[in-house]
Structure 1
Amino acid sequence: MSIGDGSSTAFQTARGEDYPALRQFTIFLENRVGQLTEVVKRFEGTGIRICAISIADATECAFVRFLLSDADRGREILERSGLGIIETDLVGVELPSGNQPLLSICSALLQAELNITQAYSLIVRPNGKPAVAIMVENPESAINTLREKGFTIITEGDLSDDPTREN
């Protein structure tokens, strides 16, 4: 009998699907034809979708940032591939209705003196509405500020394709 046999402890990460921050993975790729395709292929057949992507090109490399529908499993795939990855917390927020939805998000964060350092739109539409992922200096404070102002925060669970998950 090995240690842990018959244990009823569930093996889960400390972050659940409803953790308010989204995990962004940044990888560094050589600036060569086909490098992005090789990374995207790693998710083929896994059921993991790329939910948002941003590419910043430099002279000899590219910085590829993305959000995945299953961050824990996605990290495992990236680590097994031998790619250097950086994991960062982002805030996902649904765009409100109106003519200038991004302005209302920026204004709310400005009032709290929170600076946005990165932003990009989500490819998927959680809850059927457009959303953005933003990097801020203090994600927890940004989430609290946006919730207090009535914005809908996108969680990791909102990116999941799991049909058993309740919205």
Structure 2
Amino acid sequence: MGGSIGEGTTNELRTGRDRDYPSIRQFSIFSPNKVGALQNLVRLIETHRLRVCALSVSDSAECAIIRLVVTHPERAFELLEQDGYAFTEVDLLVVELPNRPQPTLAICSTLLQAEINIQYCFPMTVRPYGRPALAFKVDDHEQASNVLDSNGFIVLTENDLEA
């Protein structure tokens, strides 16, 4: 998606961070609450060689919010736009569960001690490196990432979804 501006330069659509930033993009997709809507969305993603890494659906009588994490979010963005979906992007912290007793409590306690609010959380369906992980939406992404990292937790990046 770039065009030539001058000799040796291009104008590319890029995000403000790279795929190694301690964050994973989630798409919040607004969908009518009707039979087959989720299947149509998943078909769009998976038939274009993207992998669904996490999925959460919150519904009401008339609409649903589908939270979706996929490999290659730039391509997913293009597909969702081309197909006319209404959506937003959100940065999540995806944290590997440490191999110790009460791993989720340890993550929550670390964030609480730093006074970071967890807005929502859901499990990853793909286990990067074979280890379970949780996706967190927090009120201070950068601080949460730094606090978790300094306390020995592994915060994943979009590159890790390819593992």
Equivalent residue, structure 2, for 1:115 = 117
Equivalent residue, structure 2, for 1:7 = 8
Alignment root-mean-square deviation, CA: 1.8
TM-score (norm 1): 0.89
Equivalent residue, structure 1, for 2:40 = 38
The separation in 2 between residues aligned to 1:11 and 1:48, in whole angstroms, is 22
Equivalent residue, structure 1, for 2:53 = 51
Instruction: Provide closer, same or farther for how the CA distance between residues 10 and 127 of structure 1 changes in structure 2, counting only shifts above 3 A.
Output: farther
Equivalent residue, structure 2, for 1:138 = 140
The separation in 1 between residues aligned to 2:121 and 2:34, in whole angstroms, is 25
Q: Structure 2: where are the runs of 5+ without partners?
A: none
1:160 correspondence with 2:162: yes
- Post-superposition Cα deviations, 1:111-151, rounded to whole Å, max 9, x if no partner, equal 10001111001111112110010000011110000000000
Amino acid across the alignment from 2:30: F
Instruction: State the shift of 1:46 in Å.
Output: 1.8
- Post-superposition Cα deviations, 1:92-113, rounded to whole Å, max 9, x if no partner, equal 1000012211000000000100
Amino acid across the alignment from 1:7: G
State the secondary structure of the residue aligned to 2:109.
helix
Instruction: State the shift of 1:45 in Å.
Output: 3.1
Amino acid across the alignment from 2:78: E
The separation in 1 between residues aligned to 2:121 and 2:12, in whole angstroms, is 33
Amino acid across the alignment from 2:102: Q
The separation in 1 between residues aligned to 2:10 and 2:85, in whole angstroms, is 31
Matches within 5 A, 1:59-98: 59-98=61-100
Amino acid across the alignment from 2:8: S
Instruction: State the shift of 1:44 in Å.
Output: 3.1
Q: Calculate percent identity across the aligned residue pairs.
A: 43
Equivalent residue, structure 2, for 1:165 = none
Equivalent residue, structure 2, for 1:164 = none
Count of paired positions? 160
State the secondary structure of the residue aligned to 1:67.
strand
Equivalent residue, structure 1, for 2:151 = 149
Instruction: State the shift of 1:19 in Å.
Output: 1.4
The separation in 1 between residues aligned to 2:86 and 2:13, in whole angstroms, is 24
Q: Give yes or no for contact 2:5–2:11 (8 Å, CA) kept in 1.
A: no
State the secondary structure of the residue aligned to 1:42.
helix
Q: Give yes or no for contact 2:4–2:10 (8 Å, CA) kept in 1.
A: no
Instruction: State the shift of 1:86 in Å.
Output: 1.0
State the secondary structure of the residue aligned to 1:75.
helix
Instruction: Give the strand-richer structure, 1 or 2.
Output: 2
TM-score (norm 2): 0.91
Instruction: State the shift of 1:21 in Å.
Output: 1.2
